[in-house]
Structure 1
């Protein structure tokens, strides 16, 4: 099959109208199923003819007749207006429209649209014209091949194309995956379109452009305000009315036997061989292939490249399925189950669906179990979750079946992406006392992991895991896994000593079991635990993980251990090693189908990009990540943390507060302690900038108690400098000294570069408060060097700023310090830290030449913003108040108010928030 692009059609038009063959007659046959863009292409060709001052006649055939539109040669005024004038639609007087053009003998374009709807006299006229074509005729004929009177014959029987007529055929086909993605993202927005949604749109639409456009429109109209669409949203949107009307109209026109074949195809809802389709259609589908042939010729069904038959657009099957009478539908599902059961291998997922709709309950539950096992073995855990949830949510499922299916759901839920319904279903099952204790323990183990990891319900999960250990007394291997999970310090707020207690028990249980999977699970959790607390022994444990294991379950544990260790290394400040561990873990997770581990690794990658200063497009990626993890708050916390920290650096304080505290994530029952500490540090910083010392101290005290209760002091790296600063500003010098001593003691024996740098920062703050700027500058320098070695450029600049401030206070080489601060401003600007850059520029202005040294007179900027006005406008656009801008730039609120007023007047902006956007739209 030839596939021509729009560009190729344009080249054809150029050649036949103005090229060397312009005096010859030419015909372009444009063939394509419904919705593939034939009308759009024909319109473009007609517009192309008008642009070349060529007259055209367009005849559009419909079920109610034909419409003729003449487009005369455009005048100069027409061309300056951009297009040729259209004559109002007239009757189907094609001979009358063509006669003047034929008499003049001039070049003209004839476009005949949808000739599959043309009546016999019209076809006779077109055949006669093309049988003896005028030399200067260019004709375009469009049609749906599936609706032709005579299959394969665009103009019916008797058409003759003489040698003098250059004939080409253009076949329009479905869009490829990339083009479908472009259309969906164009209609919904890139950040709202996860990959699985785009893939599903392509599958269900068959790549037909009009169907893709209609699906996008349905999603857009049903999802106002939604940050991200899902496959479930697509399924809920239903069949676009245009497609439903076409599918139902074609099906209704079939004879009864062919209609039963179409119904069978709708029940099967996938391309199948002819014999299976006939078997499902049953005796009412007619003998042999007669019904199938009729359905294909009517355009209801089509044959694919592998000789299978399905609907002309896959989604059309849904529309027709709804019209199949209930008793017929039920019987067809039973016949479909029988047919699919004969395949090798058996497709258990669709077979389970057919047995359910066929009313075969026992057989359905057996198929569900086999389908879930098959999906899990293939690493398709989300598919297993979906089919098991649907089954277990039905209260009529007997207890023995629930006891078999529930552990499968729990296990896949831990490895896949969480569903709220999964937690609900598992809790309901655990409430059933009829289940044996060991089965409840198995389910409770996975529920506990689900709550700790995906649901951010750490203490709830912790309690479930502890109870699981008791219930799994008869299954020591699973009990060892539960103990290993209880050893992970990140999953709860219990003191570290409790985690280490369970780690010791897990190691003994794993060793006693002699089981490879239990031993691997314990080793993976040991590696993660030691890395999270900064224990140097973590690296030796990581080296011993069996990366080359052939066991899929063991590979999942190793992948989890590597990714957890990468996350721990990130918080320690060991960024390079964290990247390497993450790459290893993601590769293993992808091979073993651990979707949850892969998703978690994406969050760690976002935090690494933030730390390393790779902020290009980071906000967009983090927003998309948070939206995608809307049912998995444990995953989304990485993205929310990044967005909050980014917002602070830009002065977007309302957004920063919303990301870091607005959703209540800091008040969870103990998950993500390092994230909570980082968020508290950021909130303290914002309070200090507002000179709200009381709020800053309250946040610092609460956050410090949280770290003390947990006992993992390496997690205070992002909190300590801001907490100590707040305490010192409140005049509590002794308390600040005690905090620093406690922090330093907690780091003894730990490998944590980020905490070491933060400790130096804390000592610098104390020295600065004590009036010792030289010592303070030295400590700031040490912190900056440590941050630079990780590398963490943003933190490096902030520490360097502190050193410079102290050096200026001590009177040390002001010129060199100013040059250093100027370099810091450049680095912050390059990062996109608008607020920080503005803040440092204000510091620099205090050390610029005095008014006596500056040229006399104020420069005139006319309608352009002055540098100060631009600076104020940028900060105002982020949402900062005049008072906050004044504190940042060392100005009075009144001065800021005047600058904002002048900026709005010059930029003609009605809103503070539009100042920067307005500036971007104006020429320099």
Structure 2
């Protein structure tokens, strides 16, 4: 029998103390009887077992139909007393009337099945004055107890947020039902990122609960059984009047039927004058066997009953009308329910309802157009749904659809393709067509224009984006609609911020956070999250965190699921930029898994994973995250991410000494950045693109890129790009034989990065400044010390590759007095510092040639170090080295 360890331990300690005192041979404790009361499945047997463990001597047990108990000292246990015959309860009463010394008795029973309610030993129940009587009632489990059971059964990694709440709701907190559901889940998957109850509704009714419910239903006289069926159809605690109306049992017949159902314990008093089943699964067990005309009539009456409530619960009405075959009434209720859910900010539920309606047989043309428009509108603020996409594409292709209706659907279809589906180019094509269809419809027209203004896509220049937002602002003002004004205002903030225009900041404060309209709040949450993303690329990290905190919280409150997820993805980029790398890889991997098949959502996390892998020298993982399946396309994905990814790929190619590959990647990436025209997004690309050109011998291209980058940043508020510009000019100076100029440029960049703060980039540029200083003056003590500091920063971040590179540079310039004396030092079975460096890079997946280039060693020397590292750690492969070495921080 399942139990909650916390509940059983807390109550059990006190109860065990009572028993121990009564049975103590040295004590003078009074005889005690413990009444363990609980409905079916609440864990009585488990608690009784724990109580019986305190008995020093043998435990006598009796059960209905078992041997009669004798009047002997010790512990007597009688379970399931509700099943005892009158003769058996009489013998127990006789024993308890004159109990022996050092005697304790535990009686367990289901209160709902006692012949005489409240009287555990029948009508003659009586306890003498010399007997201590304690009743312990086991009720439903709490949410925390269900969570503990779920983790124990499935493991923490298979318990997504909300699973315990779904288990608690479906089971009514009955411990046995929770355990049975968990047994079923153990055999099947619990998918992270799906709704909390994903999989539970498909499990069916646990057989134990099914049999118990149907047995109790069968015990209700046939003429009264309709009240049970009515409760099952209503599927919520209901008044006696409502149950009688749905059952079609007027007057006294309804009252008698309810009394019979309560006596049979199939229904229970839920408080406040309402009655129903103990759990939704018990109600489902009865609905499963109520079929045909009887079921239709019950659902018809239930639907009629609910339409008299205010507000009308249209979602439930829709379910009842569908169940009774009222197709026209069902479609009407679906539409009303979806509008109701949209107003409440529950668009995800509305999407499911509308998808079901539009995918179920033929729907009249007018109703189909209305439902499709509503579906499209709700889907845009929710998460990905391939079924929604399929339905909308089918409807948009209908030549009989009115242009305005097609335009509205096309608008949201375009947004769905751009955001949730990651099909940006196709999505923006749909948006452009929507503008044509929506002429004369200012509200959706302003939304379409505003969507085309969003600058992240590569299909339009920033100048075009600005033109679209200016048109959208004008049309939105003309519309007078507060929600569309909020939508356009949110996008205007994004356009201005991404362009580095300081005029955007006051506009953020004007977004309607406290509007009474949920649509305005949803648009504001989206605007805040998008603004946070924009300022990450600019380099305003504290502002980004503040905007995220506000935007994500508002999105969660207003049901803007997609905006909430984009905000969480942006937070990962903030942590990467500001050096909060501890546990970051794990958070990114969890986010990618949650994002499922939505590449646009996952793009932030995948980018960060690739950049972290690059810093560790894990080349294969770097390429998989940045360019593998599921990664956003460089030519179709968000331009700031594409530019950053390309910068990493250029750097990787340069590390491999693949200069032609680096130059080709830099050329393509620079072309995309130039076409977009938002130069602040080049902060992670420009230094590497200039270095690639210089390494390829194309100084003119390098100088042109540096000049173009500088010109694009003039008058822009982009501190991260400004720091990158100094870095870029340092690269140009270093490779054109100007070490003093290079050291100054790199030093200025490092100071700017420290101010932001960006510790990883500050260390990269500080190391470059030191390298340039040493090129100008070998043995510069401050430059050597700076290299040591940079290596320590890389170590602290977990940037294995960068740390190894920097330490190799450091050894080349270490003063002679600090170098080790001639001869090989003896490290025994412990890895030497150099062997440790080589082993770290080998475990990360680098080849001997790559390690040699990084550490300025010969491939033969690296081969020897790897061989010694394998021997000393006792492992047999480079892959196994990772587990044998002290793990680096993520």
**TM-score normalized with structure 1 length:** 0.87
Aligned to 1:80: none
2:489 to 519, 523, 535: 523
Is 1:426 matched with 2:392? yes
Name which of structure 1's ranges 116-125 and 715-724 shifts more when overlaid on structure 2.
116-125
Aligned to 2:209: 243
The alpha-carbon distance between structure 1 residues 813 and 240, as it changes in their structure 2 partners (threshold 3 A), is farther
- What is the CA distance between 1:902 and its match in structure 2? 5.7
C-alpha separation in 1, matches of 2:495 and 2:586: 32
- What is the CA distance between 1:399 and its match in structure 2? 0.6
Asked whether the 8 Å contact 1:649–1:833 carries over to 2, the reply is yes
C-alpha separation in 2, matches of 1:140 and 1:897: 74
C-alpha separation in 2, matches of 1:128 and 1:234: 49
2:356 to 390, 393, 399: 390
Alignment deviations for residues 240-292 of structure 1 (CA, whole Å, 9 cap, x no partner): 34433433443344432454333322222222222222222335999223333
1:12 to 9, 15, 32: 15
Aligned to 1:81: none
The alpha-carbon distance between structure 1 residues 241 and 577, as it changes in their structure 2 partners (threshold 3 A), is same
Matches within 5 A, 1:196-595: 196-223=162-189, 230-283=196-249, 287-595=253-561
Asked whether the 8 Å contact 2:160–2:193 carries over to 1, the reply is no
Is 1:31 matched with 2:49? no
Asked whether the 8 Å contact 1:838–1:889 carries over to 2, the reply is yes
Is 1:674 matched with 2:640? yes
Matches within 5 A, 1:466-865: 466-667=432-633, 670-811=636-777, 814-846=780-812, 853-854=820-821, 858-862=825-829
- What is the CA distance between 1:156 and its match in structure 2? 3.7
Is 1:137 matched with 2:140? no
The alpha-carbon distance between structure 1 residues 449 and 695, as it changes in their structure 2 partners (threshold 3 A), is same
Query: Any idea what SS the aligned residue of 1:167 has?
Result: strand
Asked whether the 8 Å contact 1:26–1:167 carries over to 2, the reply is yes
> Structure 2: which 5+ residue stretches go unaligned?
1-5
C-alpha separation in 2, matches of 1:156 and 1:771: 103
- What is the CA distance between 1:570 and its match in structure 2? 0.9
Asked whether the 8 Å contact 2:227–2:254 carries over to 1, the reply is no
Aligned to 1:73: none
Name which of structure 1's ranges 201-210 and 364-373 shifts more when overlaid on structure 2.
201-210
Query: Any idea what SS the aligned residue of 1:359 has?
Result: coil
- What is the CA distance between 1:21 and its match in structure 2? 6.6
Alignment deviations for residues 705-741 of structure 1 (CA, whole Å, 9 cap, x no partner): 2222222221111222233333333333332222222
Name which of structure 1's ranges 844-853 and 321-330 shifts more when overlaid on structure 2.
844-853
Asked whether the 8 Å contact 1:257–1:286 carries over to 2, the reply is no
Asked whether the 8 Å contact 1:457–1:668 carries over to 2, the reply is no
Asked whether the 8 Å contact 1:184–1:193 carries over to 2, the reply is yes
Query: Any idea what SS the aligned residue of 1:134 has?
Result: coil
- What is the CA distance between 1:228 and its match in structure 2? 5.7
Asked whether the 8 Å contact 1:822–1:844 carries over to 2, the reply is yes
The alpha-carbon distance between structure 1 residues 432 and 698, as it changes in their structure 2 partners (threshold 3 A), is same
- What is the CA distance between 1:224 and its match in structure 2? 7.6
Alignment deviations for residues 814-849 of structure 1 (CA, whole Å, 9 cap, x no partner): 443444333334433333434444444444444566
> Structure 1: which 5+ residue stretches go unaligned?
67-91
Asked whether the 8 Å contact 1:637–1:675 carries over to 2, the reply is yes
C-alpha separation in 2, matches of 1:702 and 1:873: 35
C-alpha separation in 1, matches of 2:100 and 2:628: 74
Alignment deviations for residues 350-377 of structure 1 (CA, whole Å, 9 cap, x no partner): 0111011111111111111111111111
Query: Any idea what SS the aligned residue of 1:303 has?
Result: strand
C-alpha separation in 1, matches of 2:731 and 2:305: 77
Name which of structure 1's ranges 873-882 and 131-140 shifts more when overlaid on structure 2.
873-882
Aligned to 2:3: none
C-alpha separation in 1, matches of 2:608 and 2:559: 27
Name which of structure 1's ranges 848-857 and 480-489 shifts more when overlaid on structure 2.
848-857
The alpha-carbon distance between structure 1 residues 262 and 832, as it changes in their structure 2 partners (threshold 3 A), is farther
- What is the CA distance between 1:920 and its match in structure 2? 7.3
Query: Any idea what SS the aligned residue of 2:370 has?
Result: helix
C-alpha separation in 2, matches of 1:137 and 1:754: 80
Asked whether the 8 Å contact 1:16–1:24 carries over to 2, the reply is no
**TM-score normalized with structure 2 length:** 0.90
Query: Any idea what SS the aligned residue of 1:750 has?
Result: coil
Alignment deviations for residues 622-681 of structure 1 (CA, whole Å, 9 cap, x no partner): 333222222533222222223332333344443333322212433276342112222222
Query: Any idea what SS the aligned residue of 2:632 has?
Result: helix
C-alpha separation in 2, matches of 1:372 and 1:228: 21
- What is the CA distance between 1:234 and its match in structure 2? 2.5
The alpha-carbon distance between structure 1 residues 550 and 912, as it changes in their structure 2 partners (threshold 3 A), is same
Alignment deviations for residues 572-617 of structure 1 (CA, whole Å, 9 cap, x no partner): 1111222233334345434543332222222222221222222343
Asked whether the 8 Å contact 1:24–1:136 carries over to 2, the reply is yes
- What is the CA distance between 1:439 and its match in structure 2? 1.3
Alignment deviations for residues 12-52 of structure 1 (CA, whole Å, 9 cap, x no partner): 324542699773333332223333333333333344x27xx
CA RMSD of aligned residues (A): 3.3
C-alpha separation in 2, matches of 1:22 and 1:813: 90
